[in-house]
Structure 1
Amino acid sequence: MDVLSKILTKLIADSPSFKFHWKCDKIKRSHLCFADDLIMLCHGSLSSALVLKAALDEFSLLSGLLANQAKSNIFTSGLSSITNQQLINLFGYTVGSLPIRYLGIPIIFTELCLRDCSPFVDKVLSRLTSWLNRGLSYASRLQLIISVLSSL
């Protein structure tokens, strides 16, 4: 993902037609990576999307890796139906619906509140409660807590 990140950064810097997503313009954020997951963000224009697509294509040529079409989505908002269809055709991904969830937490552009995270918190608490009822030693409980938190 470091290589893809560098490719994206270079192509965006070299492309005057690229525009950042309006919520990411101030910090100049075009993508988020975690492990093997990637979220790419841009203004909803064909010229900006072409830069992201060029970066994906260059990365694929260098690494031999391709995005999984079945697991990839495109999210748009406030675009004309023509532009929307052009972007869908460009990437070949299915259209997703917002909000998306990543590791059980909704990815939203507003501040997260307890209501947004309650399913995740409930899941952690239920696992902790079940372990506490097993009669484990404190060291074993600590090890289980660390294990579960790292697996979520």
Structure 2
Amino acid sequence: MRMREITAEMRVRDALPLLSAAEQISLQYWAAEFGIPLREFHLGHIRTYEMQRLQGESRYVVNAEVSVLLRLLESVGLGEDIRRRYQPLRDPEELSPEERAALPERTLKYIEKLEGEIEVFEARNDRTQNRLRKANWAKWSR
């Protein structure tokens, strides 16, 4: 028995059953809102999607969902033009890759050091939140 393959003629909703559960979740909104064949997607669809989704989701969620769509397009040999021109949503204060590249090396190293420290603090915060959740769960599940 031969499994079905995803093709450029399929719509996102047609491809969903052929994807992993995580990919299906990330592509649900795409499937509901864009009923076009995969081969017809262009950067304008991505921008429209971002504007719509940002009304109810964080930029992190929107970036992840766009990333899954781009991987789907790439799996059927599409999306190269979108990938080349697409820039994920970022915090307005965040430096673009071009701005970062223009910084003096010493400044860039200091920023990277600070980013590393932030990652450590975020990891500690996550661990503390998980411990508190577990403690509260144990307290309330008695």
The verdict on a shared fold, with TM-score over 0.5 as the criterion, is no
TM-score by length of 2: 0.31
TM-score by length of 1: 0.29
Higher strand proportion (structure 1 or 2): 1
